[in-house]
Chain A
Amino acid sequence: MNRKGFVLIQEEDVLIRELLERWLGEAGYALTASENEVPCLVIVDVPDPQRAQALIHSLQAVYAAPILVLSGRFRRGLAGSAEAARRLGVKKVLPKPFTRKELLSAVATSLGED
């Protein structure tokens, strides 16, 4: 399987992080950076939507890679929309919980692959 690039995961919940790593790993993404490798995608969990904006800005300041926002605070019907993502300045927002397919689809969207 081709190595697809390094995905940086910022998720405090251990179980969810492991799940992300597993699904992404299976899909061929690298989860640890080789030397000086910049991430192709940053996945970040937003525990508080009120501060989402600030968090994303700070990440965008550090990483050039697209950011996929995860949150257990978004309603599915609303947060899944492109509008919500646009308001946060990212390509995709993925509400928790999610299925493997949803995750991979969201990653693809964030990477502009679809």
Chain B
Amino acid sequence: MRAVALRYALAPACVLLAVLVFLSPARPALSLAGLFVFAVLAAAWFGGAGPGFLAAVLATFTLPHLIAVGYPLLGGFFDVPRFITFSLAGLAVGGWSFRRRRVEAALRLSEERHARAMEGSDAGHWDWNMVTDEMFVSERAREMLALPSGTLPTSRTEIMELVPQHPDDRAGMNEKVQAGIRAGIHVREYRVIPQAGSVRWLRSRGKVYKDAGGAAIRMTGSLTDITESMEALEKLRNSEQRYALAMEAAGDGHTDWDLVSGEFYISPRLLEIVGHAPGASFGDRADWVRRFPFHPEDRPKWEAAIAAHFAGQESHFKMELRIVVRGEVRWTSFHFLSMRDAAGTPIRWTGSIGDITERKRVEEALRASDERYSLAMEASEEGYVDSDIDTDQFVTSERLNEIFGIPRGTRFADRSDFLKHFRFYGDDAKTYADMIRAVGAPGGTDRYEFEFRIVLRSGEVRWLWTRGKVTRDAAGRARRRIGVLADITDAKLAEEELRESEARFRALTELSSDWYWQQDENLRFTYLSNQAAHLTGYSGESSLGKMRWEIVNMTPLTCSWAEHQVVLAARQPFRDLECRRLGPDGTVRYLSMSGAPIFDAQGRFRGYRGIGRNITARKLAEQALHESEARKSAMFETALDCIISIDHEGRVVEFNPAAERIFGYRRADTLGKELAELIIPPRLRAQHRQGLARYLKGGEARVLGSRSEMPAVRADGSEFLVELSVTRIATEGTPLFTAYLRDITERKRIEEALRQSEERYALAVAGSNEGIFDWDLVNDRVYVSRRAQELFGLPPGDLWRPRRDWRHILSFHPDDTPRLHDSIKAHIEGVRPTYDEEFRIVMSGGAVRWFRQRGVALRDASGKAYRVVGSIGEVTEKHKAAEDLGSLERKLRLAQRLEAMGTLAGGIAHDFNNILGAILGYGEMALRDVPKASRLARDLDSIMIAGERGRALVDRVLAFSRSAVGERVPVHVERVVREALDLTSANLPPSVTVQARLRAGVAAVLGDATQVHQVVANLATNAVQAMTAGGTLRVQLATERVDAPRAMTIGGLGAGEYVVLTVADTGGGIAPEIVERIFDPFFTTKEVGTGTGLGLSLVHGIVSDLGGAIDVASALGTGSTFTVYLPRSGDAVQPIEEKESALPRGAGQRVLIVDDEEPLVQLATRALTDLGYMPSGFTSSAAALEAFRADPDGFDALITDERMPEMSGATLIREVRGMRSAMPVVLMSGYLGATEGKADEVLQKPLSARDLAASLARVLHLQSPSRRSSARSSKRRPARSPTR
């Protein structure tokens, strides 16, 4: 648009210029109309027809204003001829100039495009004027033609000379060009060698322009580098060539089927393979397949496989099948590759078919051979193994696998693989390994044979036999081992069974009590079993080869040797030939032999065989019986007791001489008579007869087998007592009874006398207060009378026991036993005339009682004691009285001494406090007057501190002395004990455990809680310190009513209620000799520096002050128990909750607690945590300061002890205040003096949680929930006046 506007703007501009020229001084020389014509022409020339016409219109209208016009129109306003002139000139010139300009523009554009295309194109361009032979070559073409840089000659001939063309191509160049000119289109491909070794292919393509006469005048065209495609083409050609060669060489036929286009290719070799004539053609693939000479059986197989393959996704297809070529069946191998599109549909099917008939044949032959061999091996019972030692290939036959219990078909990688399938039995692995090693060794054996055992997976053991041969190379190295192997388990088992059977037989023979013998046909011994040796006393060998009658020391008993020989000669068996044989050791043995002849299958006599038996025992028994009979008879005759035998009817069958003498009958008169008639008093006869009858009917016998007493009657009618025992004689048939009777009249009389005597004695013993003992030294049994047992506190039990048992039952005091032992020994040995000792018995409840034992030994004729008899009485009271007296005296002494010490301590304290008062008072004044921080001030400070320490010490001494002034309120003992115990527990060594059983409830003691606390703390601390190796601290608290006054180790108890505190340890105990001194002030068993020696004296002072008493029980090695009795004063009135609710509480303020005593830190930490503060405890002042310095604003208050080893409380306060001047501080101090004023509050030790809470609340300006603060030991100390 702008261009058009500019063009039109030319018209007025040109007209205006003409007017200006006309109005210039040059006017006279110029025609206005002429000027306008020029203006119109100029506008038309540069602007085109439109502007030319516009200029003509403008000129026409302007003209009349400047000059007079000849042909005026419209009142002289419009000059028509001039208008026409101007218009025509403008339009004509404008139209022409416009067209020309447009053509020029198009041309310019076209050229520009062409140049750009040439620049960007990969192709080069050339233009050859065939008339002048001039040629233009573009930059790219020049590059491609490898023309030298610099100005090129213009002639084509010269240019082409410069191109380094391949000589072959240069030669044919002109011909090609001429041919191109003739054809009108020139195409030539040629090679350029820009530098040695690199060849580039160029393609030149040109068009020929001819003149009207048909002569070629110009050729122009392009040049392309086709090196890449030529190379690719070359490669392709090579590849195809190679493939074709390879195919031919392989002998495989090749086919290629493009499923999309339907094209398919068959290589000549394939035609040959399948038996088609060379050059045979097929309509399509289906035709080819139809005519393919498949073996009738294989066609369906192939079809199925192909269908499956095309349906699937596999790319490879392999198959071996048979074809029939000229009546011969041949094997072919199909190996195809299918290419598929993205959807998996086959698009190309290419592959090869090879003739593998020969291979198949060889394989088949091999298989057949293998099979034959294998079958042969299978049929064999033996397994077969072939081990190639070089390759470690290990082949076994199926039978071998079977033998080894390995599944059929298992193949082994190598021998070690095979060995994994079974295991050897026992040491056979070694046998096998040794064998294999021997075989494998260079120059080893060529053949081997051995047996070994294996264990199958089933656990069955098999015996195997193997034999093999080793093939070796020239160097003697084993190359191959081939062996056979058989299962010989059955054979082995049979062998074993045979052996076992033999062993069994041998064992049986050996075990038999008889011996076996065998003789040959000459009656000479050929075998005697081992028993013969000990049964006859002679070894079997000594008899071998001999006839029986030739054997030494053999005497026949049942018949003579001659008689025996007759039996043998008749080849008759014989039984129980008894002989006597004198052994080599001189003993006589009786032997009995039995034998039978042996005949062989032909009935020929082969000898005798039989057994022999030692019958010596039987023979001797027979003899002994004879002797026994004789002895019995003698005894019967000479017995002192009556021996009478009766039959089952009660008739006498035997009546011995003693019976004759005692009863006054003659034997002959008694035989056959009824016994009852003879010797039983008439009143008892019926009873006797009934008893006998009852027994015979199968009932029980009262008299039989037992000893009884009964009256008997003599022939003269007098009665007397007899002791009777009846036995039944074991006979067959009717029973016989034998009675033994003894006249016991005299014995009865003596027994009665003894009984009476003993009765008298027993009555005397029973009446006595003392017990009796009777020690039977021979049997070592002791009789302890009922009374004595009673005294010993035993339940009723056996009176007689072995002495050992008594000593077990009675626990003698261990201190007494050595003395008792010595004493009784001395008496028994006759060194001391009597035995009289007192001893202690520990009763079942643990109480100890004293007894006195007196005894006297009874001695035999030689003076040897065989019995000790005596009495036992209790003497506990006597001893107790004496002990009590001693104990009371001791206790009194102790109390007096402690009292005296208390008084002394009080006096000393008084004087000392005066002295300390002076030192501290004057010291204070002196300090007031000296310049601060001067050396003198520091020295005075030291004096003050020393004075303070003295004061603290005296304060503790005072605790021991009874001061009789102090606060007395009901103290809730259990609570105080629990507090004190918590404190102690917090500081326990890990090896000590605490068992607390506090059962006093609200029971109260009138006194000061601090005092009670100190008692518990001191006792507990002592107990813990006594257990250096760890142990248990037991603390019990209970209430107890005391009914009768009692003396304790310290002090005495009146009747009344007591709160009893028991503190026990399991430490080393206290030696008895120092028990009385442990309460002394400054007495200590601890190492110097670990204790003050005031703990127990403090306890004593407090307990005495509270009106209580202390009891100490201690045993070395087991521990000590301190029992403190404090008089109970009703119940504590103030419930704990109320007290606690009154304590001021914190609200998360962080409090720094510093004290070198850890228990105190823990106590304070816990108490403040309970009260809602957040305390941080430190036992090191330096560490505390470090913590504060790390976070000065992290703490709200400081609670510190004064005296600490690292840094004093005063220093700590100064340091802290240096960082935070307004830091609230509570000072805990056991002392008074120089530290005052540095803290906001000073608390006196010992502290209570209540005081601590109150002080802390004050320094933090907390609102206390109650104004009722403790009045006891917490005092607000105003800051020291600045005028000091």
Contact = CB atoms under 8 A, between A and B. Distances in A.
Given A49-B965, A76-B1244, A102-B1232, 12 more contacts: A15-B918, A19-B918, A48-B906, A48-B910, A50-B964, A73-B909, A75-B963, A77-B1244, A83-B967, A87-B968, A96-B917, A97-B951
Interface in B1215-1259: 1232-1233, 1236, 1244, 1246
A72 B966 contact: no
Contact of B921 (A72, A80, A87, A97): A97
B967 A97 contact: no
Given A16-B917, A73-B910, A82-B1271, A93 B1280 contact: no
Given A77-B1273, A80-B1273, A93 B910 contact: no
Interface string A96-110: 111111100000000
A74 B958 contact: yes
Contact of B1233 (A48, A49, A72, A99): A99
Contact of A73 (B906, B920, B968, B969): B906
B914 A72 contact: yes
Contacts of A28: none
B951 A73 contact: no
Contacts of A84: 965-967
Interface string B892-915: 000000000000001101111111
Contacts of A102: 1232
Interface string A67-96: 000011111111111111001100001011
A57 interface: no
Contacts of B1244: 76-77
B968 A83 contact: yes
B1107 to A, nearest CB: 15
B965 A87 contact: yes
Interface of B: 906-907, 909-922, 924-925, 947, 951, 954-955, 958-959, 961, 963-969, 1008, 1010, 1232-1233, 1236, 1244, 1246, 1271-1273, 1275, 1278, 1280-1281
Contacts of A95: 913
A22 B921 CA distance: 10
Contacts of B917: 13, 15-16, 19, 72, 96-98
Given A16-B921, A100-B924, A73 B914 contact: no
Contacts of A71: 910, 913
B968 A74 contact: no
A87 B964 CA distance: 10
Interface string A33-54: 0000000000000011110100
A93 B912 contact: no
Nearest to B1008: A78
Nearest to B912: A72
A11 to B, nearest CB: 9
B918 A74 contact: no
Contact of B954 (A47, A72, A81): A72
A81 B1271 contact: yes
Nearest to A51: B964
Contacts of B954: 72
Interface of A: 13, 15-16, 19, 22-23, 47-50, 52, 71-84, 87-88, 93, 95-102
Given A16-B918, A97-B917, A97-B920, A79 B963 contact: yes
A13 B918 contact: yes
B145 to A, nearest CB: 126
A79 B965 contact: yes
A73 B963 contact: yes
A101 B1280 contact: yes
Contacts of A50: 964
A71 B1236 CA distance: 23
A111 B391 CA distance: 125
11 contacts: A16-B917, A19-B925, A48-B906, A72-B912, A72-B914, A75-B955, A75-B959, A77-B1010, A83-B969, A87-B966, A99-B921
6 interchain residue pairs of minimum CB distance: A72-B913, A97-B917, A15-B918, A83-B967, A96-B913, A78-B966
A81 B906 contact: no
Nearest to B967: A83
B1233 A78 contact: no
Contacts of A73: 906, 909-910, 913, 958, 961, 963
Contacts of A100: 921, 924-925
Contacts of A49: 906, 963-965
A78 B965 contact: yes
A66 B531 CA distance: 130
A49 B965 CA distance: 7
Given A19-B922, A81-B1273, A100-B921, A74 B911 contact: no
A16 B1008 CA distance: 30
Contacts of B915: 15
Nearest to A97: B917
A19 B917 CA distance: 9
Contacts of A78: 963, 965-967, 1008, 1010
Contact of B967 (A76, A81, A98): A81
Contacts of B947: 97
Contacts of B1246: 77
A78 B947 CA distance: 20
Given A49-B964, A77-B1010, A82-B1271, A19 B921 contact: yes
Nearest to B965: A84
A16 B1010 CA distance: 30
Contacts of B910: 47-48, 71-73
Contacts of B966: 75, 78-79, 81, 83-84, 87
A93 to B, nearest CB: 7
B955 A76 contact: yes
B963 A81 contact: no
A52 B925 CA distance: 30
Interface centre among A23, A50, A76, A82 (most CB of B within 10 A): A76
A90 to B, nearest CB: 11
Nearest to B906: A73
A98 B1008 CA distance: 23
A19 B968 CA distance: 33
A37 B483 CA distance: 147
Interface centre among B913, B919, B969, B1010 (most CB of A within 10 A): B913
A95 to B, nearest CB: 8
A72 to B, nearest CB: 3
Contacts of A75: 955, 958-959, 963, 966
A74 B1233 contact: no
A15 B1008 CA distance: 33
A27 to B, nearest CB: 12
Nearest to A13: B914
A82 B703 CA distance: 103
Nearest to B950: A97
Interface centre among A80, A95, A101 (most CB of B within 10 A): A101
A71 B914 CA distance: 9
B1246 to A, nearest CB: 7
Nearest to B1101: A75
A95 B951 CA distance: 11
B1000 to A, nearest CB: 24
A15 B961 CA distance: 25
Contacts of B914: 13, 15-16, 72, 96
B965 A96 contact: no
Given A16-B914, A81-B1272, A97-B951, A74 B965 contact: yes
B1234 to A, nearest CB: 10
A81 B967 CA distance: 7
Nearest to B922: A19
Nearest to A48: B906
Contacts of A47: 907, 910
A22 B965 contact: no
A96 B963 contact: no
Contacts of B1271: 81-82
A97 B913 contact: yes
Interface centre among A23, A50, A75, A99 (most CB of B within 10 A): A75
A74 B967 CA distance: 12
